[in-house]
Structure 1
Amino acid sequence: MQELGLDVGAVKAMFVAVQETPYLLLEVPAEHAAQLAEQLNVPVRRYYVSDAALQESHKRTGLLQTDLLRAKLPDRGSVMSGDFGEILTAIFQATTEYPVEVIDPKKWRLKQDRTKPAPHSDVVQFILPAWPEATTQDRILCAEVKTKATNGSSTPVVSAIADSRKDRDGRLIKTLTWLRERALYEDLGTTSIEQINRFINAIDHPVATHDYRAVAVICSSLVVAETAEVKPPGADECALIVISVPDLKLNYEAVFDAVLSSAGVVGVDE
């Protein structure tokens, strides 16, 4: 949380639970949605690149930090929408667990192509309360996230539930292996190779809990239609979470615009 620069209290207040069964429905009130760009611009920037890496690249290339960030961020459209939904989910999960630390590999830093989604499982986070000791209290959060900001044929709730099954059927372990390989040479923030290995080499450690989640981040104007005939997954499959955001397209674009503007606080462009 400290690495991201999140105001935990302010972010927690953004997510209002209006229904807990048969699935969790969260609403971001309009007054909080209007503050998303101000509250999340620095955390979102740090999901893509650390301050230290941005400063180092600026010194090495002489390019403005805003130009360097443009080379990291997705263009407007479906990838930006999807990235926002995934990062919002990661932030929600981290603030929900607070004050317990959530270790996040920040896989958006590892994109080979900024115009495409990050590969493998969408959001993977670790909870290791007694680290470096592995215990039965250890957990791994694995969320499949679908985002719908405008009216169209996509079915985010149904698709999130269906694709969460891929995580349970082997995609999660492939993601962990990929993260470990990338961590050999690249910055995963506060995540270490040893922490990733704790879950890859599960047989060598106490049994950990795997929390699988299907998350749909949906514009509030579309939520009723998208949840009208929802059949929640079984308790032994995954948890279903729906996050309703007013004017989702307008607000996620405002967040990314603010991310570019936030570059000026990371040192001084010369």
Structure 2
Amino acid sequence: MRDLGIEKAILAPWFAEEKESPYVLVRVSDEQAAAWADVLRMPVRRCYIDDALLDERAAVTGRPKSELVAAKLPDRGSTMAGDFGEILVFLYHAAVEPGCEPIGPKKWRLKQDRTKPAPHSDVVQFVLPHWPEASPDDRILCSEVKTKATNGVSTPISSAIADCEKDRTSRLAKTLVWLKERALHENLGTTTVAHLERFIQATDHPEAQKHFRAVAVVCGSIVDEELADTPDEEPSDHTVVVIAVPELKQRYEEVFDAVHESVTETGGGA
């Protein structure tokens, strides 16, 4: 999380688990969510473009940083909601993972179209406690994320569970190859080609652990009715997580508004 400028100690209190089985339930408090616009504006901006590249592109193009950042961020609507849900789960992984801090590509930097979701598996991160040595303690974290900020017909929990199966059967493998191809030509930050090959060339290394999650990020006002869609028994091959956020639509819009408002024309970016 250092490349995003946020510490695990800040994140952990947001994701205290209220229920652990047969699904994990997290209820973010009103006070915590209300602080997100201030706390997350820099980390969220860095999910789309890091400080060095923002400075470089501003110097090369002569365009204001506010314009460069705006060309990366989604408009209000379903893509913004989905991106925020994924970023929140990226932070959740870091908050709840014991010991070694996970690393992972910020897939939102790799979008071909800012108005659409990033392709392939939603959130992929790696835990490599003995790197650069591969070990049986290495883990890959993969989450399928569905976000529901307003009342409607969508079923985020069952949809996340169904799509999580795609990650387990084939999509994660395709995602890793896609990420490697992007890493050959682009800087993925803390994630390198060597990190990706450790999991792509799995037979060349000790067997790694895989942890799959189906995550629903849901507005607190509707979460209780959505919980009827949770499994009766704990799944053996994935974990179901429900993160309830009070006034979710308002909160993610506030965060993205804060990203736009905080971009400066001098110094290191926002």
Band of TM-score, shorter chain: over 0.9
Q: How does 1:6-85 map to 2 (within 5 A)?
A: 6-85=6-85
Amino acid of the structure 2 residue aligned with 1:59: A
Give the 3-state SS of the residue equivalent to 1:221 in structure 2: coil
Amino acid at match of 2:135: T
How far is 1:88 from its partner?
A: 0.2
Report the CA distance shift for 1:98/1:188 in structure 2 as closer, same or farther (over 3 A): farther
Deviation of the 1:8 alpha carbon: 2.5
How far is the alpha carbon of 1:9 from its aligned partner? 2.1
Secondary structure, aligned partner of 2:2: coil
Taking the aligned partners of 2:228 and 2:196, their CA distance within structure 1 comes to 39
- TM normalised by structure 2 equals 0.96
Q: Is residue 232–residue 240 contact of structure 1 (8 Å, CA) maintained in 2?
A: no
1:233 to 1:82, Cα distance in 2 relative to 1, 3 A: farther
- Runs of at least 5 residues in structure 1 that lack an aligned partner in the other structure: none
Amino acid across the alignment from 2:88: L
Query: Counterpart in 2 of 1:225?
Result: 225
Partner residue, 1:113: 113
DSSP 3-state at the match of 1:235: coil
Q: Distance in 1 between matches of 2:2 and 2:188?
A: 15
Cα 1:268–1:179, aligned 2, differ >3 Å: closer, same or farther?
closer
Question: Is contact 1:48-1:106 (8 Å) kept?
Answer: yes
1:239 aligns with 2:243: no
Q: CA shift at 1:18, angstroms?
A: 1.2
Aligned-partner residue type, residue 178 of structure 1: W
State whether residues 146 and 157 of structure 2, in contact with CA within 8 Å, keep that contact through their aligned partners in structure 1.
Answer: yes
User: Aligned equivalents of 1:13 and 1:115: distance in 2?
Assistant: 32
Secondary structure, aligned partner of 2:158: helix
What percent identity do the matched residue pairs reach?
A: 55
Moved over 3 A (4+): 232-235
1:267, distance to aligned residue in structure 2 (A): 1.4
- Computed over aligned residues only, the root mean square deviation of the Cα atoms, in angstroms, reads 1.5
The equivalent residue for 2:267 is: 267
Distance 1:202 1:153 in 2: 40
Task: Give the letter aligned to residue 241 of structure 1.
Answer: V
Whole-angstrom distance in 1 between the partners of 2:141 and 2:226: 25
Change (3 A) 1:253 1:204: same
Q: How many residues align?
A: 269
Cα distance, 1:262 vs. partner?
Answer: 2.6
CA contact (8 A) 1:79 1:115 kept: yes
Relative to 1, partners in 2 of residues 1:130 and 1:232: Cα closer, same or farther, differing over 3 Å?
Answer: farther
1:258 is matched by which residue type in structure 2?
Answer: A
- Asked if structure 2 preserves the Cα contact closer than 8 Å seen for 1:161 and 1:233, the reply is no
Q: Report the CA distance shift for 1:177/1:268 in structure 2 as closer, same or farther (over 3 A).
A: closer
Q: Once the 2 structures are TM-superposed, how far is the Cα of residue 95 of structure 1 from its aligned partner?
A: 2.1
Whether contact under 8 Å (1:233, 1:239) holds in the other structure is no
Q: Which moved further from structure 2: 93-102 or 79-88?
A: 93-102
Q: Which moved more, 1:15-24 or 1:175-184?
A: 15-24
1:151 matched to 2:151: yes
Scaled by the length of structure 1, what TM-score is found? 0.96
